[in-house]
Amino acid sequence: MDAKGDRVLRRFNPKSVRSVLDRDVNEKTLALHLRANRDEMEIGAFLNGDDKASFAKAFGTALRKARA
C-alpha cells in the first residue's frame, strides 16, 4: 500500500531481486526485504518472529527455483 492506503501492484524479476534478512544479535529474524535495483520493500511484516524465519526460508527456496 502507498502512503494514502491505496493498493499498489509491484512486480519483481526473480533473476534480479534479492531477499535481505534483518536479524538481531541472537540471529532471530526481524524483517525480510526484497531488493531490486533501488527498490526495496518489506514483506511479511505482519508475521511473528518464528513465522518470519519460516517464511524467509520457504521464500528463499522458491526464489532459487524461480531463477532456474
Q: Is residue 34 part of a domain?
A: yes
Q: Is residue 1 included in any domain, yes or no?
A: no
Count of structural domains, the chain: 1
Cell numbers of 28, please? 532471530
Position 52 scores a pLDDT of 92
Domain with 47, as residue range(s), is 18-67
User: Could you tell me the pTM of the whole model?
Assistant: 0.76
Scanning the structure block, which residue is given the C-alpha cell 540471529? Answer: 27
**Phi, psi angles (nearest 5°) of residue 63:** -65, -40
Would residue 37 count as lying in a domain?
A: yes
* Nearest Cα to Cα of residue 18 among 1, 2, 4, 39: 39
Q: Which residues of the chain have pLDDT under 50?
A: none
Strand ranges inside 1-68, DSSP E: 18-23, 29-36, 39-43
For position 39, what pLDDT does the model report?
A: 85
Residue 58 lies in a domain: yes
Distance CA 63, CA 46 (A): 21
* Strand, coil or helix: 6: coil
pLDDT above 70 as % of the chain: 99
